[in-house]
Structure 1
Amino acid sequence: MTTSTQPPAIVFTDFDGTVTLQDSNDYITDNLGMGYPKRKVINDQILSGETNFRDGFHKMLESIPNSFDECIDVLLANIKLDPGFKVFYEWCRAENIPVIIVSSGMKPIIAALLTKLVGEDAMANIEIISNDVEVTSPTKWDIKYKHPESGFGHDKAQSITEYLKTHNVAPGTTLFYCGDGVSDLSAAKETDLLFAKRGKDLIKYCIAEGIPYTEFGDFMEILAKIKVIVKDGGDIKQFHA
């Protein structure tokens, strides 16, 4: 979303499992690739530090034999939107608050799902910062990491820093981040208030690292808290767990 004036706040958000109810990458890995039990082992290895997200995620995706187009078709038929996200997005747009997707997924998948689930307006106004995909044949494809040198594949902290610099965001602008899982670890310390999805892995990391956060179940909860902070001048610290 491009604005002509400095916004009162900026919302950076993960996409899979945060904006959507299911993680699209987990869905195709579980249903088309190696399956949940093997993916869970890799996920636990990422959380424990035995492997990094970049390498673990690549193993998951390379287990999928289907073409990229087939993967998108499966996801469009099965992935659902967080029930509060569209209302949240429309409120942010009316209040001149950019919503920026910062994802460890792949841009063509995010764009297809966002267009179907939220609409063309969202695609025109929500910036997507993510990995990409390289399709080399009708049946062969691979993830193209935004930051291949990083153990995250996409270093979300770096992307947030770059966004603030390139958009000349004024010091003191309130920054929010919304996430749920292991791909959000690099971004967890980068904003003023972290929204971590209830019952998901990001909360475990925040507790272990002593990172302040507030839980959410859906975007209506996020909206209510952001309204208190942005519109009513509420203290962010009141929401820290």
Structure 2
Amino acid sequence: MGSVSPATLPALKTNPKFIFFTDFDGTITQQDSNDYMTDNLGFGPELRRKGNQDVLHGRRHFRDAFREMLDSISTPLDQCIDILRKNIDLDPGFKEFFHWAKENNMPIVVLSGGMEPIIRALLAHMLGEEEAKSLQIVSNQVAPRPGKSINDENGWQIVYHDDSGFGHDKSLEIRPYARLPAEERPVLFYAGDGVSDLSAAKETDLLFAKAGRVKDIAAGKLSVKEAASGRQ
């Protein structure tokens, strides 16, 4: 795989035969961290669900509804992270899978519509600092509001990864791998079953979805493996 620079496609650094792309919230974790913050620290589940319905029915872009959710949270970012550490659980099979993938030279790339500081903090808490550092994470960022620190009340805001309607079009990260010449291209896997995951999954060879969600994504005509946990 020498014709493509690992600096351009970091997951190729170890010349893997397989790459595992995965969503974070509700896939690596059992709960969605952004939903948890909105429901408990922001404007609550009713308005969050209304925003979700608006997105599903095409009345709003995901990025606008998601920003509104997060803007309703006034809690300083460091306090948000502390609360999430106590309330968000790792999928029971992920830690074992993480170590198996590492031993078998299968890079795991986290593609998330969430925010990197929160994701890294949760992974460090769940896997350990060094293990979390080894994971490539492609997601949105956090920035301070004018005149404030992210750890002030009403001090932080999301910074989207790109200009797409999702705020982070995950397929853009996978596509360069998918378009590699056949002799250089690893087998690509994807785990995730949210609305923002479908376009990303279409760039890969096999989609893993948690039990109960396969019917929701079958219309995408993808090769799908139903999994009860990260071990399957």
What TM-score comes out, normalization by structure 2 length? Answer: 0.85
Instruction: Pick from 75, 85, 106 the counterpart of residue 84 of structure 2.
Output: 75
The one of 194, 203, 219 equivalent to 2:207 is 194
Once the two structures are superposed, residues 13-71 of structure 1 have per-residue CA deviations (whole angstroms, 9 ceiling, x without a partner) of: 00111001001001001111111121112112222322221111111111112111121
Tell me, yes or no, if structure 1 residue 155 matches structure 2 residue 169: yes
> Which residue identity is paired with 1:215?
E
Asked whether 1:145 is paired with 2:154, we answer: no
Q: What does residue 4 of structure 2 align with? A: none
3-state SS, counterpart of residue 66 of structure 1:
coil
Q: Determine whether 1:178 maps to 2:191.
A: yes
Closer/same/farther in 2, CA of residues 13 and 118 from structure 1, 3 Å limit: same
Partner residue in 2 for 1:214: 225
Going from structure 1 to structure 2, the CA distance change for 1:87 and 1:66 (only over 3 Å counts) comes to same
Contact 1:2–1:125, Cα closer than 8 Å, also in 2: no
Separation in structure 1 between the aligned mates of residue 158 and residue 219 of structure 2, nearest angstrom: 30
| 1:64 and 2:77 correspond | no
C-alpha contact 2:42 2:70 (8 A) present in aligned 1: yes
TM-score (norm 1): 0.82
Aligned equivalents of 1:198, 1:120: Cα separation in 2: 30
Runs of 5+ in structure 2 lacking a partner? 1-9
Give the count of matched residue pairs: 217
Aligned to 2:100: 91
Amino acid across the alignment from 1:150: S
d(CA) in 2 for partners of 1:169, 1:18 = 29
For 1:80 and 1:16, the matched residues in 2 are separated by 10
Amino acid at match of 2:201: A
2:42 corresponds, among 18, 28, 33, to 33
Distance 1:155 1:86 in 2: 26
Distance 2:13 2:47 in 1: 48
Q: Write the letter of the residue equivalent to 2:222.
A: I
Q: Is the 8 A contact 2:11 2:109 kept in 1?
A: no
Q: CA deviation at 1:185?
A: 3.0
Q: What secondary structure is seen at the aligned counterpart in 1 of 2:189?
A: strand
Stretch of structure 1 that moved more, 34-43 or 207-216: 207-216
Q: Distance in 2 between matches of 1:187 and 1:2?
A: 16
